[in-house]
A = this chain, B = another copy of it.
Amino acid sequence: MEFTTTQTIEILGTIAFAISGSFAAMQRRLDPFGVLIIAFVTSIGGGTVRDMLLGDTPVKWMRDVNYCLLILITSLLTIFFKTHIKKFKITLFLFDSLGLGLFTVLGIQKGIAFGLSPGICIALGTITGCFGGIIRDTLLNTIPLIFRKEIYATACISGGLLYFALLQFNLKADVTKILVIVFIFALRIFVVRYKLALPKFGY
């Protein structure tokens, strides 16, 4: 079985968000069943909203049961190994940021495949990247860290701009994708670190 780059990105993103969803749910002390549901919703949320907006239905995960199995196995492994993970919050944050980068690139690519203009593709990438986490936080009723959500979107949009900027250079498509994924991942981590030290500013 050979995977294309797009499939690899999709698989890795699905795993990353399934882990982040499982962690978030365990942090809120849901029962194992609840953890599975949150992992599932976090993992498929962004792509589902994207596909519904595009009218590309039945949405992806309904057509390919393998993604559901992947989420199930990832979530079960996360529950199983949770006692070995000490820095809960940081692990959650890292996988969430990784998923953000991966899914944003996926969304942009799908927009390009649908022939949409660059601005719309970036919006689509942002939606794909962010919505899983938004739904997860809404369902878990986490105190709404709008502040954090902003960073979410900012990282995605910046990554999207970088993507279309890189298209001007004759890089290999895969190199562009990987650069953007790393950029979004790094930007979010950098911004969160930086913001934490920054005083709240009114305006």
Interface residues of chain A, those whose CB is within 8 Å of chain B, are: 26, 28-34, 37, 48, 52-59, 61-63, 65, 68-69, 114, 116-117, 119-120, 123-124, 139-141, 144, 146, 149-150, 153-154, 157, 201-203
Contacts and interface: CB of A to CB of B under 8 A. Distances in A.
A146 B150 contact: no
Contact of A30 (B26, B31, B58, B150): B150
B57 A146 contact: no
Chain A interface mostly helix, strand, loop or mixed? helix
B53 A55 contact: no
B31 A150 contact: yes
A55 B55 CA distance: 7
Nearest to A44: B123
A149 B34 CA distance: 9
A150 B119 contact: no
A127 to B, nearest CB: 10
A46 to B, nearest CB: 14
Contact of A119 (B34, B68, B149): B68
A120 B53 contact: no
A144 to B, nearest CB: 5
A142 to B, nearest CB: 11
A153 B65 contact: no
Contacts of A63: 116
A33 B26 CA distance: 31
A28 B65 CA distance: 40
Contacts of A26: 203
Contacts of A150: 30-31, 33-34, 37
B123 A34 contact: no
B65 A54 contact: no
Contact of A54 (B53, B62, B139): B62
Contacts of A29: 202-203
Nearest to A202: B29
